[in-house]
Structure 1
Amino acid sequence: MLYSYIVKKEIRKTFDHVNNHRWDDAVKAVAPDVHHRVSGAHALAGERHDKEALRRWFERLGRVQPTLHITINNIWVKGWPWHTTVFAQWEATATLLNGDASYVNRGLHVFTLRWGRVYALEEFQDSQEAARGLAVQSAAGLKEAVAEPIVSSQKPSQRARAF
């Protein structure tokens, strides 16, 4: 189906933007009241309910894991343009500041799209590996790696709640 092909291409492009620290491009198709959630208890966890908080989260991701590279293994698209669910299975690798190249995290992103805009994004990953990598970064002197999560100051709207 042509629609699925286009969506997969755009999702891959977004991950490419993240890999190359192009944050403006990464959030271009995000709705103003997006709902973004990452589980765990670490500096990249928490919930954001607006595009600006998500952009700040991406900026932090780039600072605390500067060599992070995400490889997409599979993408599944379900639905129509007015309500699409996308599953993106991935593997992330990074060399940590202490020279350790063993950081590997695997996960799944679940996107909710409406007419090409991302209204919700939930990330399922190995939160213990994420926390371990961030602890190594902190021990190497990067204090932001153990900072409090970035969260939104505004409350979520009904439209953005897709979980």
Structure 2
Amino acid sequence: MVYSRIVTKKVKETFDAINSGNYQVMLDGLADDFVYHFHGRHALGGHRNTLKSMDAWWQRVGRLLPGANFEIREVLVSGGPWRTRIAVNSKIRGDLPDGTLYENTVLQLMTLRWGKVAEVETLEDLQVLERALSVVAKHGQQEALAEPIEDPGPGSSAPQY
């Protein structure tokens, strides 16, 4: 119970840091051997497993959805420090260049191993996200239509970032 409260507090502090523009806190929390999967084939989707690709991805998020903020609705924690499972239900909101509001539900499933994030799986309503990326592209930011930033998988020769 105490461990669960500590983990919940750390998750909320990390999202607070991201909301203030400091995504480095999230990068610092990643294990040496991690996997980050954001569902969908779009500019923010893909699989990443290096700090270089995660940094490039966060930079892209900042360019495409500047000022977007997360509101944490619920954090569920299960397990001990050797394998902690976390589910985060949040809302993301931010102004789009056409004056409309981007608002989406974000569900993240994470695995911590000894305090470091080993796995992250991110799910959003892809229709809502892709409409927002389309608005961003129509207002001059063609990167919103780019391929995902991904690390090479089996059979690949080079990272895509």
User: Taking structure 1 as the reference length, what is the TM-score of the superposition?
Assistant: 0.90
Equivalent residues in 2 for 1:4-153, closer than 5 Å:
4-101=4-101, 103-153=102-152
* Contiguous gaps of at least 5 residues in structure 2: 155-161
Moved over 3 A (4+): none
Amino acid at match of 1:7: V
In 1, distance between residues paired with 2:20 and 2:142? 23
In 2, distance between residues paired with 1:91 and 1:144? 23
* 1:49 Cα offset (Å): 1.6
* 1:71 Cα offset (Å): 0.3
Amino acid at match of 1:10: K
In 1, distance between residues paired with 2:24 and 2:70? 18
Identity, % of aligned pairs? 34
* Contiguous gaps of at least 5 residues in structure 1: 156-163
In 1, distance between residues paired with 2:95 and 2:6? 32
Does the CA contact (< 8 Å) of 2:107 and 2:123 recur in 1? yes
* 1:30 Cα offset (Å): 0.5
* 1:21-51 C-alpha deviation (Å, 9 max, x unpaired): 2122221110122100111121001111222
In 1, distance between residues paired with 2:152 and 2:56? 13
* 1:15 Cα offset (Å): 1.0
In 2, distance between residues paired with 1:154 and 1:106? 28
**Secondary structure, counterpart of 1:73 in structure 2:** strand
User: Taking structure 2 as the reference length, what is the TM-score of the superposition?
Assistant: 0.91
**Secondary structure, counterpart of 2:149 in structure 1:** coil
* 1:51-110 C-alpha deviation (Å, 9 max, x unpaired): 221121111111100021110000000000000000000011111011112x11002100
Give the total of aligned pairs: 154
Amino acid at match of 2:133: L
Does the CA contact (< 8 Å) of 1:33 and 1:51 recur in 2? no
**Secondary structure, counterpart of 1:112 in structure 2:** strand
